[in-house]
Amino acid sequence: MNPAVARLAHGGRRLAYRLRPGRGPTLVFLPGYASDMEGSKATALDAWAEAEARAMLRFDYGGCGISEGRFEDETLATWRDDALAMIDAVVEGPVVLVGSSMGGWLMLLAALARPERVKGLIGVAAAPDFTGWGFTNPQKRRIRYEGRLEEPSPYGDAPTITTRAFWESGEALRLLGDEIAFDGPVRLLHGLEDEEVPWRLALDIAARLRSADVQTLLVKGGDHRLSRAGDIALLLRTAEALLAGPLLETL
DSSP classification of residue 159? P
Is position 10 annotated as part of the catalytic site? no
Q: Give which of 121, 166, 128 is closest to 148, Cα–Cα.
A: 166
DSSP classification of residue 180? B
Encode pLDDT of 7-58 as tens digits: 999 999 999 999 999 998 999 999 999 999 999 999 999 999 999 999 999 9
Determine the 3-state secondary structure of 163 from DSSP.
Answer: strand
Question: What's the CA gap between 251 and 243, in Å, rounded?
Answer: 9
Strand (E) or helix (H) holding 169: helix 164-172
Nearby residues of 129 by Cβ (< 8 Å), 6 or more positions away: 105, 170, 174, 175, 176
Selecting among 35, 67, 100, 101, the annotated active-site residue is 101
Is position 101 annotated as part of the catalytic site? yes
Is position 190 annotated as part of the catalytic site? no
Selecting among 46, 81, 129, 194, the annotated active-site residue is 194
Selecting among 60, 169, 224, 231, the annotated active-site residue is 224
Q: What confidence score (pLDDT) does residue 245 get?
A: 82
pTM of the model: 0.96
Q: What confidence score (pLDDT) does residue 1 get?
A: 87
Rg (CA), the chain: 17
Question: What's the CA gap between 213 and 194, in Å, rounded?
Answer: 24
Encode pLDDT of 45-82 as tens digits: 999 999 999 999 999 999 999 999 999 999 999 999 99
The domains of the chain, with CATH numbers, are 5-243 (3.40.50.1820)
